[in-house]
Amino acid sequence: MQQSISVKEALASQAPRDALLVRGWVRTRRDAKTFSFLELNDGSCLKSLQVIADAALPNYAEVQRLTTGASVSVRGQLVPSQGQGQRWEVKAASVEIIGTADAAYPLQKKGHTPEFLREIAHLRPRSNLFGCVFRVRSRLAYAIHQFFQDRGFAYVHTPIITGSDCEGAGELFRVTTLDLKNPPRREDGEIDSSKDFFGRPTYLTVSGQLEAEAFACALAKVYTFGPTFRAENSNTSRHASEFWMIEPEMAFCDLQGNMEIAEEFVKYLIRDVRTHCAEDLELFAKFVDKGLLERLDFVVERPFQRVSYTEAVELLAKSGHKFEYPVEYGTNLQSEHERYLTEQHFKCPTTVYNYPKEIKPFYMRLNDDDRTVTAMDVLVPGIGEIIGGSQREERLDVLEKSMARHNLDPKDYGWYLDLRRYGTVPHAGFGMGFERMLMFVTGVSNIRDVIPFARTPGNAAF
């Protein structure tokens, strides 16, 4: 079988080619007097390859019945194009029809709503916009590995099924094989988890951090990159129930070092995508978000603002802006507050650090003021939080007190406490929401449109 080449490779050719084989899906077909034009797309790039199918082809009658969505295999010559807008086209010697598509094919015309396209998530990657989104998604994942691998970080696979609630927010999906209709019960009537598959209650992980800490305390610099799950009932454009997270964890690192690497990381990813997905980004800039490219360049060029939580609260209170939720020291910043900081006030990415201990998870390092912990959130315009992280509490006694305050049973965290018992070190890390970062670099405003098959409250189709 002759090796086919991709449309991208064909379009990048430096010279004409004699025997070419390309395969893909017909985007459009239009007929001239003695030939038919096919626009062939195979997802390797945004552009399609123009194929000229001559009326002399033995199966020309069938070619003329080809409709949008059909799959074909084309042999022929790559020749300079006479037409406008493309350098090369294919003069077909044969057009083999692999699979037809009838008039019911849902991606006939442009201009479908995002809601409709979500219903056909199995077909939407064949559209221009979603082709671009998923090529950028792939590149971004690659760039993430490159960033950490180049800096000597080891990639750690933390478990998907876990017994602990890292963030302590109780947003866990339960994993069980118990018979839901008739679960085994203890004497007190509660469900007996000791009879469950793992002999204990288990959940889908909300974060690989705790396990990543164990590895950071051995391999010094590590990162995870995997799916995480949250059963939070947030129906927003930025929350998914299943999303991917990147979590670096570094031994011998403090909050300052953590903020620096987070900033370097965000800028690196933007630069990488700017370079390697230029054509895709141009489509976003044209159809999704006019200011995209300027904003990305601006972010790469400027230092991020840094502001403590206390300063941020004062600044929001003094802003005179009418927020839906009041700004008060000791409460979580709402999305509207975060966006005000980064969009209106600083007008650039902003790292907020040192939050009150009451509103942050148990593992964050207590500051000397005894009131705040070394948390940090990176906020970006248009989205709000894309990164959350902290320096971790490395002092055994302080960690135990923090766990007591959070009503956590030290018995459940024996292994985690061991990391402080044996050769404890200051360490820090963060989690970046992969889809949030993807939204930021593409300008796509709904998280459902940057995940192949979104899982959100009430929706797990496909």
Nearer to Mg ion, 196 or 213 (CB): 213
Interatomic CA distance for residues 364 and 102, integer angstroms = 58
Determine, following the binding rule CB under 6 A, whether residue 388 of this chain makes contact with ligand 4AD. Answer: yes
Nearest to 165 by CA among 334, 391, 357, 362: 362
Name, in order, each residue with C-beta under 8 angstroms of 317's C-beta and a sequence gap of 6 or more: 327
Determine, following the binding rule CB under 6 A, whether residue 266 of this chain makes contact with ligand 4AD. Answer: no
At its nearest, how many Å lie between Mg ion and the CB of residue 295? Answer: 22
Nearest to 376 by CA among 260, 289, 226: 260
Of the candidates 430, 439, 448, 451, which one interacts with ligand 4AD according to CB under 6 A? 430
Segment near Mg ion (CB under 5 A); pick from 151-159, 316-324, 329-337, 383-391: 383-391
* Strands, sheet with 305-308, edge to edge from the N-terminal-most edge strand: 154-155, 221-229, 242-251, 427-433, 384-391, 372-380, 350-356, 305-308
At its nearest, how many Å lie between ligand 4AD and the CB of residue 167? Answer: 5
Of the candidates 126, 139, 339, 436, which one interacts with ligand 4AD according to CB under 6 A? 436
Nearer to Mg ion, 100 or 308 (CB): 308
Footprint of ligand 4AD on 166-195 (CB under 6 A): 166-167
* x-marked contacts with ligand 4AD along 204-223 as a string, rule CB under 6 A: ---x-x--------------
Interatomic CA distance for residues 84 and 369, integer angstroms = 68
Of the candidates 5, 387, 438, 441, which one interacts with ligand 4AD according to CB under 6 A? 387
Using an 8 Å Cβ cutoff, are 438 and 230 in contact?
A: no
Q: In the chain, what is the straight-line distance between the N-terminal and C-terminal CA atoms, in Å?
A: 34
Segment near ligand 4AD (CB under 6 A); pick from 40-48, 82-90, 175-183, 385-393: 385-393
Nearest to 205 by CA among 243, 153, 239: 243
Segment near ligand 4AD (CB under 6 A); pick from 15-23, 93-101, 111-119, 432-440: 432-440
Interatomic CA distance for residues 372 and 379, integer angstroms = 19
| Residue 5 contact among Mg ion, ligand 4AD, none, beta carbon within 5 to 8 Å by kind | none
Determine, following the binding rule CB under 5 A, whether residue 388 of this chain makes contact with Mg ion. Answer: yes
At its nearest, how many Å lie between Mg ion and the CB of residue 26? Answer: 45
Using an 8 Å Cβ cutoff, are 427 and 391 in contact?
A: yes
Which tokens in the block code for residue 448? 């459902």
What is the 8-class DSSP label of residue 151? Answer: T
- The residues of the shown chain that bind Mg ion, judged by CB under 5 A, are 388
